[in-house]
């Protein structure tokens, strides 16, 4: 959050980076994950048994809390999450932890909280000194369980989002408790990135109306889901969905997507003790392919590092992770993981149309390395008699400046390009995509970005391969018209944006886009481009000014 402006006793505005459109109004639920402070003191001999009983009761209470959480899990999320909770329940039954704490109370005459804290410290030291990375990480499970028992000993309420019984805005991590605890109600305007704390009556009324209009607009837009994605003069484009979880596939199709343009596979590595096995991955891919059938699914190999982390792969502590051992670089280093994923993707390709997408490619040599490994994996599957699509399309993400500069050479190596504009903007303009202090410099309409996008589309066209785009840019309707003019034949986006893009295209003549593109490629600054684009939107769509975003 940046730039806070306090306008009155009420209506405390703060601005941040808009991440997801929509308006939410609700009471604040602060998810306080702060460490429990421990009160430590010496006890008399006659208090020992009482403290031990207190400790045992806190352990039993922790078990009950975890069983309660298990009961709230939906059937679909059960297997993975049960595993995590089962691990914690096992720790709660661990005699080492229980006996050590009780002995500490007895031998050192320390109260239960103090004794448990000391025992946890010892455990932490032991785990920190373990060489095996995986086992070392397990120390954090014990800490979590320890925190739970400590909270119970302190009589603190364990917060859970399941306790919510009304519409609430969950605030976690970034705002300090002091900022938020005294707040009653908050408005989050995801379209503008504005958060208003303690809104006054008038502001609340205005936003309730705005929220209602937004909902009505979304409902109207839904009518466009079924319509073809084409311009007034019949120029077609494929609109696909970016998804992060299998559960989103059905909704994507419902929202009018004709396939998955980007399946981020990082989800499979989250909330697990170990990286997913080949079969685990294959089963997830199968689920998605079946839901999307007969449309294609574009599966991107693991893209972690930079701003993306998963619990079970320990990344190096790097000074500059955005430029470090991330994404495809990590896959090429950790080949065992990469080969498992390629096997799973290839096996899935026998079940329906699948495309393989390699992220964060920065040069031709990297593509050669990936293809050599892919060929070896294919040979392995053939020798095992396992079916896969021999002609599987292999594409690369274009999201580094070097890939843009080498687009003509890269185009000869692969079957399709998919531009990751989120990263491309960050790396071309040297603006960390998650840093609110430089968010004003993150400009999709920067002339350097427009030229880069245009150059990639040209290279793809010359080589006769499809140019796709799967960054957020694709979901801004007017940008989609420009991308179409550049020659992008497939736009992939969060599926909630599909109907809005269809709506604009249905009212747009592709010649208007060609002219606009020619003009903006001559401009020198993002402001000039933005002004011209806004003027065109006003000119072509005067009736749309008060409707939704249309992006500018």
Of 146 and 246, the one with the shorter C-beta distance to ligand PEP is 246
Query: Do the strands 2-6 and 12-15 form a parallel or antiparallel pair, or are they unpaired?
Result: antiparallel
State the minimum distance, in angstroms, from the CB of residue 147 to ligand PEP.
Answer: 32
Site residues for ligand PEP, window 302-341 (CB under 6 A)? Answer: 303
Site stretch for ligand PEP (CB under 6 A), options 49-57, 100-108, 379-387, 418-426? 418-426
Of 358 and 457, the one with the shorter C-beta distance to Mg ion is 358
State the minimum distance, in angstroms, from the CB of residue 446 to ligand PEP.
Answer: 15
Residue 477, binding choice from ligand PEP, Mg ion, none, Cβ under 5 to 8 Å by partner class: none
Other residues' Cβ atoms within 10 Å of the Cβ of residue 403? 27
Binding mask 371-410 for Mg ion (x = CB under 5 A): ----------------------------x-----------
551 with 530: CB under 8 angstroms?
no
490 with 229: CB under 8 angstroms?
no
Site stretch for ligand PEP (CB under 6 A), options 9-17, 381-389, 415-423, 446-454? 415-423
Of 147 and 423, the one with the shorter C-beta distance to ligand PEP is 423
Q: Three-class SS of residue 171? A: strand
Site stretch for Mg ion (CB under 5 A), options 50-58, 147-155, 158-166, 423-431? 423-431
DSSP state of 469: E
Site stretch for Mg ion (CB under 5 A), options 28-36, 93-101, 417-425, 526-534? 417-425
**Position among 420, 466, 513, 551 found at the interface with Mg ion (CB under 5 A):** 420
Binding mask 437-466 for ligand PEP (x = CB under 6 A): ------------------------------
Of 420 and 513, the one with the shorter C-beta distance to ligand PEP is 420
Q: Is 470 in the site for ligand PEP (CB under 6 A)?
A: yes
Residue 470, binding choice from Mg ion, ligand PEP, none, Cβ under 5 to 8 Å by partner class: ligand PEP
Strand order of the β-sheet with 12-15 is: 2-6, 12-15, 194-197, 185-189, 23-31, 168-172
**Position among 423, 443, 476, 490 found at the interface with Mg ion (CB under 5 A):** 423
88 with 144: CB under 8 angstroms?
yes
Q: How far apart are CA 201 and CA 404, in angstroms?
A: 51
State the minimum distance, in angstroms, from the CB of residue 473 to ligand PEP.
Answer: 8
State the minimum distance, in angstroms, from the CB of residue 420 to ligand PEP.
Answer: 3
Kindly state the number of chain residues that form the binding site for ligand PEP, as judged by CB under 6 A. 10
According to DSSP, the residues that pair with 305 across neighbouring strands are 308
- HSE at residue 12, side-chain half, CA atoms within 13 A, is 13
State the minimum distance, in angstroms, from the CB of residue 399 to Mg ion.
Answer: 5
Map 255-301 to HEC letters. CCCCCEEEEEHHHHHCCCCCCCCHHHHHHHHHHHHHHHCCCCEEEEC
Q: What's the Rg (C-alpha) of the chain? A: 27
DSSP state of 158: P
State the minimum distance, in angstroms, from the CB of residue 271 to ligand PEP.
Answer: 18
Binding mask 382-411 for ligand PEP (x = CB under 6 A): -----------------x------------
Of 304 and 406, the one with the shorter C-beta distance to ligand PEP is 304
Q: How far apart are CA 298 and CA 240, in angstroms?
A: 10
Q: Three-class SS of residue 221? A: helix
DSSP state of 305: B
Cα–Cα distance list, 471 to 48, 261, 364, 428 (Å): 61, 10, 22, 14
State the minimum distance, in angstroms, from the CB of residue 217 to Mg ion.
Answer: 30
Site stretch for ligand PEP (CB under 6 A), options 66-74, 149-157, 419-427, 443-451? 419-427
According to DSSP, the residues that pair with 308 across neighbouring strands are 305
Residue 433, binding choice from Mg ion, ligand PEP, none, Cβ under 5 to 8 Å by partner class: none
**Position among 146, 256, 275, 471 found at the interface with ligand PEP (CB under 6 A):** 471
Vertex 6 angle, CA 4 and 11, to 5°: 110
Is the peptide bond preceding residue 9 cis, with omega within 30 degrees of 0?
no
Among 317, 319, 416, smallest CA distance to 361 is for 416
Residue 148, binding choice from ligand PEP, Mg ion, none, Cβ under 5 to 8 Å by partner class: none
Residue 152, binding choice from ligand PEP, Mg ion, none, Cβ under 5 to 8 Å by partner class: none
Other residues' Cβ atoms within 10 Å of the Cβ of residue 342? 26
- Helix-strand-coil split of the chain, %, nearest 5: 55, 15, 30
**Position among 65, 421, 454, 475 found at the interface with ligand PEP (CB under 6 A):** 421
**Position among 118, 148, 264, 536 found at the interface with ligand PEP (CB under 6 A):** 264
**Position among 420, 466, 477, 513 found at the interface with ligand PEP (CB under 6 A):** 420
Residue 264, binding choice from Mg ion, ligand PEP, none, Cβ under 5 to 8 Å by partner class: ligand PEP
Site stretch for ligand PEP (CB under 6 A), options 212-220, 407-415, 417-425, 501-509? 417-425
Of 48 and 406, the one with the shorter C-beta distance to ligand PEP is 406
Residue that the structure tokens 């946890």 belong to: 120
Among 362, 456, 387, 381, smallest CA distance to 418 is for 456
Residue 263 tokens read as 């399946």
Q: How far apart are CA 536 and CA 545, in angstroms?
A: 12
* Residue ranges that bind ligand PEP, judged by CB under 6 A: 262, 264, 303, 399, 420-423, 470-471
Binding site for Mg ion (CB under 5 A): 399, 420, 423
């Amino acid at each position: 959050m940046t730039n806070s402006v306090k306008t009155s006793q009420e209506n405390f505005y703060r601005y941040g980076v808009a991440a997801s459109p929509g308006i939410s109004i609700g009471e604040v639920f602060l998810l306080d994950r702060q460490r429990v402070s421990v009160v430590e003191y010496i006890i008399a001999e006659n208090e020992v048994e009482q403290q031990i009983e207190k400790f045992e009761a806190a352990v039993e209470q922790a078990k009950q809390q975890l069983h309660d959480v298990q009961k709230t899990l939906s059937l679909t999320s059960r297997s993975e999450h049960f595993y995590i909770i089962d691990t914690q329940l096992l720790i709660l039954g661990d005699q080492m932890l229980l006996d050590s704490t009780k002995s500490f109370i007895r031998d050192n005459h320390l109260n239960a909280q103090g004794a448990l804290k000391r025992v946890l410290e010892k455990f932490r030291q032991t785990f920190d000194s373990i060489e095996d990375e995986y086992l070392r990480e397990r120390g954090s499970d014990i800490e979590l369980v320890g925190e739970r028992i400590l909270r119970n000993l302190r009589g603190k309420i364990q917060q859970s989002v399941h306790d919510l019984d009304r519409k609430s805005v969950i605030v976690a991590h970034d705002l300090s408790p002091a900022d938020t605890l005294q707040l009653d109600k908050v408005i989050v305007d995801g379209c503008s990135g504005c958060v208003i704390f303690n809104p006054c009556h008038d502001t609340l009324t205005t936003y309730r109306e705005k929220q209602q209009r937004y909902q009505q607009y979304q409902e109207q837009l839904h009518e466009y889901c079924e319509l073809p994605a084409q311009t007034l003069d019949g120029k077609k484009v494929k609109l696909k969905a970016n998804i992060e979880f299998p559960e989103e596939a059905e909704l994507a199709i419902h929202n009018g997507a004709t396939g998955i343009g980007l399946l981020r596979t990082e989800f499979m590595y989250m909330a697990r003790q170990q990286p997913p096995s080949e079969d685990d991955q294959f089963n997830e891919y199968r689920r998605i392919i079946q839901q999307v059938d007969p449309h294609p699914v574009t599966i991107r190999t693991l893209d972690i590092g930079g701003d993306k982390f998963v619990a079970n792969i320990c990344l190096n502590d790097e000074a500059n992770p955005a430029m470090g051992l991330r994404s495809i670089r990590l896959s090429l280093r950790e080949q065992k993981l990469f080969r498992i994923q390629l096997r799973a993707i290839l096996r899935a390709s026998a079940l329906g149309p699948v495309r393989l997408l390699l992220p964060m490619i920065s040069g031709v040599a990297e593509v050669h390395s990936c293809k050599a490994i892919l060929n070896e994996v294919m040979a392995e599957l053939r020798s095992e008699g396992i079916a896969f699509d021999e002609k599987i399309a292999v594409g690369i993400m274009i999201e580094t400046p070097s890939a843009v500069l080498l687009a003509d050479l890269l185009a000869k190596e692969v079957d399709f390009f998919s531009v990751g504009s989120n990263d491309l903007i960050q790396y071309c303009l040297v603006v960390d995509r998650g840093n609110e202090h430089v968010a004003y410099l993150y400009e999709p309409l920067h002339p350097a970005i427009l030229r880069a996008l245009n150059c990639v589309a040209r290279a793809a066209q010359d080589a006769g391969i499809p140019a796709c785009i799967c960054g957020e840019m694709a979901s801004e309707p007017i940008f989609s018209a420009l991308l179409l003019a550049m020659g992008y034949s497939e736009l992939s986006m969060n599926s909630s944006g599909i109907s809005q893009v269809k709506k604009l295209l249905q009212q747009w003549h592709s010649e208007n886009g060609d002219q606009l593109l020619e003009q903006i490629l001559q401009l020198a600054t993002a402001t000039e481009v933005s002004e011209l684009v806004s003027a065109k939107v006003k000119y072509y769509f005067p009736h749309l000014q008060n409707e939704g975003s249309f992006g500018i």
